[in-house]
């Protein structure tokens, strides 16, 4: 690729990632990359390991969607979702091929780090002044930053935390500078009040420590110890200074109560959604009810006393538990393939001989697809776009320098 093509590729990838702060604008650069990817795929004769992994993962996700359409209660919508999902393959192909060039990975990596710093600065400004740099107010009690009015800031920063830390580390930043950068980063994730982002951050840091330690328990203990101490300091400070954070923590205590009603309230009535989802699985265990079919079958499987039926006469668009969503909508077949994908991503990350920070983008995709995620829909266009963008970047970044030169 020429320098001009590299710059265009980096610009498309970076603009996509930046536009994730919007509701829909990220679709435009993704559409361009999908078209260019189709052209590249038509002329590609040899698929390296990164491209093979991309194809395996895509078809492991997509083929169960196709099968689920045959038993869907709303075949038109399920088929539209399944057909639309196809564009992630050429998009990922274009990203992977483009990032074969180190300068593209470097440009994208630096842009993501800069974006993270801007998002953190903007969110801190919003927390302390009531409005962010663009004038957006707090969304209720939570910090939303440039993602306003959507509460996606904490989720976005949480999946990128391992990459953020590794990038600074590999560029020679001392422990003091990294901690000075990590403290406000952690602070923003916590005051976003998204408990799922806290979970993703915790798991992401554990994976980061495990990968970097290379079997050294002493090194692993030191990394975990430092991270735990920093988290303890920030959480303690928020407990004493932020009523909204304290309220969210107290609200979460009910999850440990053992009382079904209290647990349902503390989960923001997720249990009522999961109960309906399990009823759907019982009736459609093999193929599921079809992609994005949960919303259409909700009232059919919900008890009349269900919180959502009783108060809103409707349900949600998905069950707000990623593993259950996949089991409901693509059945045991889709769920089995989903577990295969997660294990493959972990294997690639752990076995990667690359020292490039770009390999931690694959951890971002893994965190985005955690089974216990209770935020956005697995098959929804927004979160799927986020996951597939970082997945394609990560699969290429996980290759060793020797593989890149082939």
Q: pLDDT tens digits, residue range 16-30?
A: 999 999 989 999 999
Q: Using CA atoms, how far apart are residues 107 and 314, in angstroms rounded to an integer?
A: 46
pLDDT for 189: 94
The listed range with the strongest mean pLDDT (44-53, 77-86, 136-145, 166-175) is: 77-86
Instruction: Pull the structure tokens for residue 277.
Output: 């989802």
How far lies 330's CA from each of 70, 273, 384, 404, in Å?
11, 17, 16, 35
pLDDT for 215: 66
Q: Using CA atoms, how far apart are residues 246 and 10, in angstroms rounded to an integer?
A: 41
pLDDT for 88: 97
**What would the pLDDT profile of 141-177 be if each residue is shown by its tens digit?**
789 999 999 999 999 999 999 999 999 988 888 878 8
For residues 115 and 18, the answer to whether their CB atoms sit within 8 Å is yes
Q: Using CA atoms, how far apart are residues 6 and 370, in angstroms rounded to an integer?
A: 32
**What would the pLDDT profile of 240-279 be if each residue is shown by its tens digit?**
777 887 878 777 777 777 777 888 788 888 888 999 999 9
Q: Is the pLDDT of residue 229 over 60?
A: yes
pTM of the model as a whole:
0.92
Mean pLDDT computed over 275-294:
93
Q: What percent of the chain has pLDDT over 70?
A: 98
Q: Is the pLDDT of residue 196 over 70?
A: yes
Name the more confident of 230 and 199: 199
Instruction: Pull the structure tokens for residue 286.
Output: 């093999």
**Domain map (residue ranges) of the chain:** 3-255+318-404
Mean pLDDT computed over 214-219:
73
Q: Using CA atoms, how far apart are residues 105 and 91, in angstroms rounded to an integer?
A: 16
């Amino acid at each position: 690729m020429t320098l001009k093509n590299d710059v265009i590729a980096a610009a498309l990838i970076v603009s996509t990632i930046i536009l994730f702060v919007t509701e829909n604008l990220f679709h435009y650069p993704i559409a361009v990359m999908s078209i260019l990817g189709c052209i590249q795929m038509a002329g590609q004769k040899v698929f390296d390991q990164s491209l093979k992994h991309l194809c395996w993962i895509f078809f492991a996700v997509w083929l169960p969607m196709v099968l689920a359409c045959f038993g869907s209660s709303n075949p038109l919508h399920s088929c539209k979702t399944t057909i639309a999902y196809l564009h992630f393959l050429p998009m990922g192909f274009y990203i992977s091929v483009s990032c074969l060039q180190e300068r593209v990975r470097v440009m994208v990596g630096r842009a993501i780090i800069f974006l993270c710093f801007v998002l953190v600065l903007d969110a801190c400004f919003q927390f302390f002044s009531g409005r962010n740099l663009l004038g957006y107010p707090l969304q209720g009690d939570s910090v939303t930053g440039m993602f306003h009015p959507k509460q996606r800031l904490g989720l976005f920063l949480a999946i990128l935390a391992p990459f953020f830390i590794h990038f600074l580390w590999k560029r020679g930043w001392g422990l003091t500078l990294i901690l000075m950068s990590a403290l406000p980063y952690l602070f923003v994730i916590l005051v976003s009040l998204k408990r799922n982002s806290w979970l993703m951050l915790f798991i992401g840091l554990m994976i980061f420590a495990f990968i970097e330690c290379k079997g050294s328990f002493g090194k692993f203990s030191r990394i975990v110890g430092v991270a735990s101490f920093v988290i303890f300091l920030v959480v303690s400070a928020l407990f004493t200074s932020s009523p909204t954070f304290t309220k969210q923590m107290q609200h979460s205590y009910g999850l440990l109560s053992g009382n079904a009603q209290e647990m349902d309230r503390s989960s923001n009535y997720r249990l009522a959604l999961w109960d309906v989802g399990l009823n759907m699985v019982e009736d459609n265990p093999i193929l599921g009810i079809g992609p994005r079919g949960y919303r259409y079958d909700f009232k059919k499987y919900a008890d009349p006393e269900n919180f959502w039926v009783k108060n809103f006469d409707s349900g949600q668009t998905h069950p707000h538990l990623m593993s259950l969503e996949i089991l409901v909508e693509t059945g045991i077949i889709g769920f089995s393939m989903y577990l295969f994908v997660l294990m493959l991503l972990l294997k690639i990350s752990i076995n990667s001989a690359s020292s490039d920070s770009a390999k931690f983008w694959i951890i971002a995709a893994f965190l985005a697809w955690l089974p216990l995620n209770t935020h956005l829909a697995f098959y929804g266009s927004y979160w799927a776009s986020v996951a597939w963008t970082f997945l394609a970047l990560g699969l290429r970044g996980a290759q060793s320098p020797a593989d890149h030169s082939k």
